Structure 1
Amino acid sequence: MKDKLKNILDWLEPKVSYADLRFVQTEKENIDVENGILSSYNVSTDRGIGIRVLTDGAWGFAASNN
């Protein structure tokens, strides 16, 4: 992922006055126990990215969680 973000930033750099990228990844582990017995176990990962740019005096922002 780090390489992909670097490629995006390298592509943006000559086109804008300023750019920043923010990547967030959250991992969750859920364990449910009923009457001392494991009833469910689930691990999930959520990811998101935000891109902010300044060009021609105007700010732009885009975000995705896909």
Structure 2
Amino acid sequence: MTVDHARAVDGIIRALDDPYAENRREAALAAWHLGIADPDLVEALGRRASADESERVRSKADDALRALGRR
């Protein structure tokens, strides 16, 4: 199966702005699994890692950034 990376990145970035914390956490996990350090995705993850209201989202976003070599 092939993945359209641009569409995947765009979807993850949109999901990182979801009003539900669990969806944002899942989006951060998806970013980790996708493994692409797209600059816009890294920026979105950085915002969630530093300022999300949910500790679980902050933690998962930080994990994703580390996995992408950005922390």
Q: TM-score, normalised by structure 2?
A: 0.27
Q: Answer 1 or 2: which has greater strand percent.
A: 1
Q: Answer 1 or 2: which has greater helix percent.
A: 2
Q: TM-score, normalised by structure 1?
A: 0.28
